Amino acid sequence: MPSSLRVSTVTFMTSLAFERTPLADAELVRLYSQMTQVRHLDTSAIAWQRQGIVPGYAPMRGQEAAQVGAVAALDMSRDFLFPTYREMGAALAAGVDMGEYMATHKATWNGGMYDARATRVTPIQTVIGGSALHAVGWGHGQRLDALAADADAPLDLPVALVFLGDGATSQGDVHEAMNFAGVFETPTVFFVQNNGWAISVPTERQVSGGSVAARGAGYGIAAVRVDGNDIEEVVQATRAAVAHARSGAGPVVVEAMTYRRGPHSTSDDPGRYRSLEEERNDGGPDPLDVARERLLSRGAFSTADVADVQSAAEALEERVRADVQAQGPRPGAEMFEYVYQEMPVSLREQAAAWREESDHV
């Protein structure tokens, strides 16, 4: 054995502990109301696509507790969200204007028309796994800034929470992001919604070993697997993950086990790879039913309250639909203007040629 070969002992943090305690009734009521709004908007968005109001949409039915619960664990005055194209629920919970969010699905704006700096939610990401790199880079910057300000002070860092699907964790970008985050102890929470399907491929054929959380050990970072249909468990686990990352202890993988109760997108036919019976049997408890029955059993909610929450969700949907329908096409010239900070000569020439050949001067 070469003398230069060093053998070191590495401690793999494979499980993050958290308290499984009930949320306060008022908080659970608020989160249930948000989940109801998300469910109604999600169902409506599918109908909008069928009606020709939007050209495409990625449904998220069944993932309401995972998304709303994850956002509830953050401090949106300092933390940052990095979504994919299926995080309408997270965006709503973070306070993003839903009309501006749906501009991407309306195809009038790429990434959403909302102000990412003001909302602290980055533009909608359609590159599978790409947002993981952005989240780690942003988090690394926060840590460097804190150390530069006072290297001896206890760390209290802003946290980047990035949403991923189980299928996305097979992408090379996610491996690079997790490895970098582990090495440099970035304040990043990798929130993986394991919804059972990587488009048309079940998790067991997409994720070796069947567990995304188990991969955390390979990067020396903490990980936890939770019931993604139980919003109280999601909130408590994500709060523990955020606290861990905020303290400078490094990144965390949270794997929320849930189920995609519909197609991958409005152009997908899930009947080609699973049956309705399989969907019913494998879906597990509906996250809205879990939260509602819990509130009713505690006496914190009545059937009249349930009806009021539903009415509020319907009113929100009407406002958002009106906003979406009112959105007109964007000026075609914008396809050239928002590519580079300083437009190169080649693109300037393309823009000039387009203006000459187009009626849209």
Segments making up each domain of the chain, as ranges:
25-330, 332-361
**Residue 277: pLDDT band with limits 50, 70, 90:** confident
Distance CA 114, CA 330 (A): 15
Crossing angle (nearest 10°) for helices 25-51 and 303-326: 40
For the beta sheet containing 80-82, the strands, ordered from the edge strand earlier in sequence to the opposite edge, are: 80-82, 160-165, 188-194, 252-257, 222-227
For residue 8, pLDDT beyond 70: no
- pLDDT of res. 30: 98
Say which amino acid occupies 114.
Answer: Y
- pLDDT of res. 14: 58
Cβ neighbors of 42 (< 8 A, separation 6 or more) are 59, 60, 61, 64, 88, 89
User: 122 to each of 74, 134, 161, 352, how far by Cα in Å?
Assistant: 15, 9, 11, 31
Q: What one-character-per-residue DSSP string does 195-221 give?
A: -SEETTEEGGGTSTTS-SGGGGGGGT-
DSSP 121: B
Closest CA to 162 of 43, 242, 275: 242
Distance CA 287, CA 64 (A): 7
For residue 3, pLDDT beyond 80: no
**200-218 average pLDDT score:** 86
- pLDDT of res. 10: 39
Distance CA 357, CA 129 (A): 38
Closest CA to 70 of 167, 182, 132, 163: 163
- pLDDT of res. 330: 80
- CA 263 vs. chain centroid, Å, equals 17
Distance CA 140, CA 264 (A): 32
- pLDDT of res. 201: 83
Residue 28, token pair as written in the block = 């659970």
pLDDT in tens, 126-155: 899 999 999 999 999 999 999 999 999 999
Would you say 241 and 16 are in contact if contact means Cβ atoms under 8 Å apart? yes
pLDDT in tens, 150-184: 999 999 999 999 999 998 898 999 999 999 999 99
- Homologous superfamily in CATH for domain 25-330: Thiamin diphosphate (ThDP)-binding fold, Pyr/PP domains (3.40.50.970)
Residue 184, token pair as written in the block = 């440099």
pLDDT in tens, 10-61: 344 458 888 888 999 999 999 999 999 999 999 999 999 999 999 999 999 9
Cβ neighbors of 361 (< 8 A, separation 6 or more) are 355
Q: What one-character-per-residue DSSP string does 301-330 give?
A: --HHHHHHHHHHHHHHHHHHHHHHHH--PP
Mean pLDDT, rounded, of the chain: 91
